[in-house]
Amino acid sequence: MHDALIDRYIACWNATDAAERRGLVAATFTEDAAYRDPMLQGEGHAGIDGLIAAAQQHFPGLRFRRRGGADAHHDVLRFAWDLGPEGAAPIAGGTDMAVVAADGRLAAVTGFIDFAPKGE
């Protein structure tokens, strides 16, 4: 169950078609969900969709991918991700902590950057 949720979360970040991305965000996040990392933050579906679109503009052509499985206990998930060109070594990666709502969607995500290009 958690791996499917994380895969959908990663799909949100990779969906460059705005309508597809909005649908994935709605299926993955609660209406009042919050996202924050050292560079971006947003609330609700529109805020999260907007920050994902901004990240895609900042890193054109790069794709997110899940690194390993999810750790979970109670309503909290921890999972790792990489960002890089398709089929190549990642240029950035991080670990996210997420709270899962009763309906199985994400209520909050806090992202941590494990490595990134200098200046990012």
pTM for this prediction: 0.93
DSSP string, 68-107: EEEEEETTEEEEEEEEESTTS--SEEEEEEEEE-TTSSEE
86 is a domain residue: yes
Q: Assign residue 81 the CATH number of its domain.
A: 3.10.450.50
Domain span at 59: 2-115
- The string of pLDDT tens digits covering residues 5-56 is 999 999 999 999 999 999 999 999 999 999 999 989 999 999 999 999 999 9
120 is a domain residue: no
- 3-state class of 117 per DSSP? coil
Q: Which residues contact 39 (CB under 8 A, 6 or more apart)?
A: 113, 120
pLDDT band at 120 (very low <50, low <70, confident <90, very high): low
Q: Phi-psi region for residue 61, left (φ > 0), alpha (ψ -120 to 50) or beta?
A: left
30 is a domain residue: yes
- The string of pLDDT tens digits covering residues 77-108 is 999 999 999 999 999 999 999 999 999 999 99
Number of structural domains in the chain: 1
Integer Rg of the chain from CA: 13
**Amino acid, single-letter form, for residue 44:** G
